[in-house]
Structures are given as structure tokens and as C-alpha cells.
Structure 1
Amino acid sequence: MKGRIAVVLMSLLLVLYLVLMGWRAVLFMQTGEPVGIAIGAALLVLPLIGFWALIREIMFGMHSERLIHLLAEQGGLPLDDLPRRPSGRPYREAADAEFPQFKAEADAEPDNWRVWLRLGLAYDASGDRRRARGAIRTAIALERAPR
């Protein structure tokens, strides 16, 4: 729940930022000076890129959360019995020891979104966030493909 509140708060702050920067951009562009127009254009483009990135992250979070809930309902989530640090993160060595099983499943069934989601969770437990996100994105694409 804390994560959702943070997302809503960040989204509201970004919208406020977009409105304020949009107003400033218009003021800069109304000067008619080349430098003012360039600054105004930058003030319009950069926040829009940030807004696009935020929307992508929100959509990724929603889709991945939906798949995790669906996999949990089906009883397909991997057993989470890894030893953990005081911070709550699993010890990497323990996660790495279980990783080959999930990688082999994904290699054996490359068109199954469930094995890709489990692989993404295994990557995350091993501390490899970039590959975790990639595997989860693959799971999302595979799950949505038949529709």
C-alpha cells in the first residue's frame, strides 16, 4: 500500500511540475528571443519525457502485479523460503543456487509467461534488477499475446 501512495504522490507532483514548467515555457517562448524559445522548448520536452517514463513504470507495475496475483491464484509462485538479511533482501548466494532451475524452465518453455515471470522473480532475488525487469516484460508480452 505504501508503494501505491508513493506512486500517486509522485504522479501528482509531476503533474504540478508539468503545469508550472508549461507556464514558464510559454513565458519564455513569448519573449521572441531565440534563447528564450529554446529554453521554452526544453521546458516543454523534458517534463513530457519524464511523464512518459512515469506512465510506462506505472503500467509495468500494474501488469506485473496482475500477473503475480494470477500466478499466485494458480499456485505457481515459487516457494519463498530463502534466508534473508535483516533488510529483508535474500542472501544472493542462496538465490543464485536456486536460479539455474528457473533458467532451465524458461529455456524449455520459451512461450510460457509463467516460467518467465518466475525467472524474473529469481533474477530479482539474485539482485539483477535489469534482467528481472526484462524477464517480467517478456512474461507480460507473452500473457497478452493470445488476447
Structure 2
Amino acid sequence: MTRIGVALIGAALILYFVLMGQKAILLIASGEPVGIAMGVALIVLPLIGVWALAREIQFGVQAERLGTRLDSEGGMPAAETELTPSGRIAKGDAEPLIQRYTAEADAADDDWRARYRLGVVQDAAGRRKDARASIRAAIRLARQKA
């Protein structure tokens, strides 16, 4: 399902490139300073969007690859507490779990598996930013070991 969403966003971005590229050429060809500036912006801003989309896709692919590997090894964290209907860890149970997995990850700072497990628990607790940072660290560690 996520891959379909990414493909749709990518297709929309390509369509945007084509349409805005035509507008950018017309604005630049106008010879007016404001038109030229707007035309250049219409070219540069989508490039930044493509870069951001490519980084997100790269992160997703690498995270999924590590998650599949860890799961096949039987190393994914088990659901130790009751989950909310949305699949999150209940707020009262989240902090002790995060502290435990943080301690495990800190004790083995060169182990990508511990860092990835921490990211999974953080994500289940609703701490997306922390989870992404932990999983990025796991990806970096796995790359160093390869």
C-alpha cells in the first residue's frame, strides 16, 4: 500500500515537472527580471522536491530491508504490553519500554539490531522523530559492518 502511495506521489511530481517546466520556459523567455526569477524558482523548487522524495524512498527501502532481515533472524521486539486499537503502545507502558530498549542500544552502540529495535519501540510509542533517528543510526551501523 505504501509503495502505491510513493508511486502516485512520484507520478504527480513528474507531471508537475512537465507542466511547471513549460511555465518556467515561458517566464524565462519573457525577458522580464521578475519573470526570469519566477522561472528559475519553478525549476529549482521541484529539484529540491525530487531530492527530498529520493531521500525518503532510500530511507524506506533501507529500513524495510533491515527490518525484514531482523525479523527473519527472530530479533524484532515482541509486543510486551497491551496495544491501543491503532497499534500503539499505551502511554503508561511506553516510557519503561523505551528506557529499557534505549539502555540496550546504548550498551551495544555498534549493534544495528539493538538500535533498530529501539526505533521500532519508539515508533510504536508514537515518537516518530526519535524512531526515524534510531533507524537511521541502525542503517548507518549496518552499512559500516557490511
Contact 2:88 2:125 in 1 (8 A): no
Match of 1:53 in 2: 52
Match of 1:20 in 2: 19
Whole-angstrom distance in 1 between the partners of 2:12 and 2:81:
37
Contact 2:63 2:139 in 1 (8 A): yes
Whole-angstrom distance in 2 between the partners of 1:21 and 1:82:
50
Whole-angstrom distance in 2 between the partners of 1:49 and 1:101:
39
1:85-124 alignment runs, 5 A limit: 85-124=84-123
Q: Does 1:30 align with 2:61?
A: no
TM-score in terms of structure 2 length: 0.94
Whole-angstrom distance in 2 between the partners of 1:102 and 1:90:
14
Identity of aligned residues (%): 49
Whole-angstrom distance in 1 between the partners of 2:77 and 2:85:
21
Match of 1:143 in 2: 142
Following TM superposition, by how much is the alpha carbon of 1:86 offset from its aligned partner in structure 2, in angstroms?
A: 2.5
- Indicate the RMSD between aligned Cα atoms, in angstroms: 1.2
Whole-angstrom distance in 2 between the partners of 1:82 and 1:22:
52
Q: Does 1:7 align with 2:13?
A: no
Following TM superposition, by how much is the alpha carbon of 1:23 offset from its aligned partner in structure 2, in angstroms?
A: 1.4
Deviations 1:72-118 (A, max 9, x none): 11111000243222233332222222111111111111111001101
SS of the equivalent of 1:145 reads helix
Whole-angstrom distance in 1 between the partners of 2:81 and 2:62:
25
Which ranges in structure 1 are unaligned for 5 or more consecutive residues? none
Which ranges in structure 2 are unaligned for 5 or more consecutive residues? none
Tell me how many residue pairs correspond in the alignment: 146
* Structure 1 stretch displaced more, 83-92 or 9-18: 83-92
Whole-angstrom distance in 1 between the partners of 2:43 and 2:112:
38
Whole-angstrom distance in 1 between the partners of 2:100 and 2:145:
26
